[in-house]
Structure 1
Amino acid sequence: MTRSTFRFAGLAALISLSAAGAGLAQTPPQGGPPQGGMRMMEMKRPDPEARAQRLRNVLQLTPAQEPALKAFLEAQRPPERMDRPESGARPATTPERLDQQRARMVERLAAFDRRATATRTFYAQLTPSQKKAFDALPMGRGKHREIRMERRMMGPGPGGPPMDHARPE
């Protein structure tokens, strides 16, 4: 090959690389995906009144069953967020962290017991046809499962620790 052919190929490669770099350097359009990568769904708080109305409609609850529904929904409400330790606080030792983790587990178990008791009490108030409809409803917090799946697929976002895909959540 001649030198001009090599120069022409080099020039073409340089133009291609600079065009690709310019495309990457453009700012994303307003209203694009939020920081940290694309989101499969919007992070919205569930509407408790919409859930209550859905249960009323699906189960065809009577006015006499309304107090049981209110008690059930109150028990299902998520707890308040726990405060994180101050950033200036001394780091906890391993035994302290283990004690804190155990305390959180005990709190979660108590919350589960409270929700399970409320569910059993509400379920006992239902007629056989309502029980069948209630049994067909999806269990748990499906949105949280979707968020875990999204994090597993998309990663934790910028600055976060790498995801361990072999470990179940």
Structure 2
Amino acid sequence: MIEPATPADVADIAALEAVALAADAWSEALVAQGVTGSLPTVHYLVSRLDESLAGYAVASVAGDVVELQRIAVDPGRRRAGVATALLDEVLALARTHGVERVLLEVREDNAGALAFYADRGFAELARRPRYYRDGTTAVVMELPLSGPPMSVWATS
């Protein structure tokens, strides 16, 4: 089940953020700002399995674009459809807001993520050299949108 994150999810999201993104992880304070609405364009979604956090996604709605900022899945729950379900809800959010495209950045050395997004219709748009703290290049990917929303849980 995918749903909007609540303040009760902040510590778990921040902990998974640290595991999944290491040096590029956001602080618990920044996660809390996004979850509580202090960052008005930002939407946090969570996936729970057995009442524990299985994964989360972060998307920012800005004009005609949704920027997918994060999808992270607990290492013990990978390959179980969690990332796909989170991405589907981000795309539904994008369609609900009437945006034209979804953008994201992926580390060029993350073959699994690059394949995941390519399999779902994302295409490389550009590259950002030395984008990550360790100097790794980011691959900017884009998915043009069309069609009706698949879910309408979010209307804000």
Q: TM-score range by the shorter chain?
A: under 0.3
What TM-score comes out, normalization by structure 2 length?
Answer: 0.27
Name which structure has the greater RCO, CA cutoff 8 Å, separation 6+: 1
Q: Work out which of the two has the higher radius of gyration on C-alpha atoms and give 1 or 2.
A: 1
What TM-score comes out, normalization by structure 1 length?
Answer: 0.25
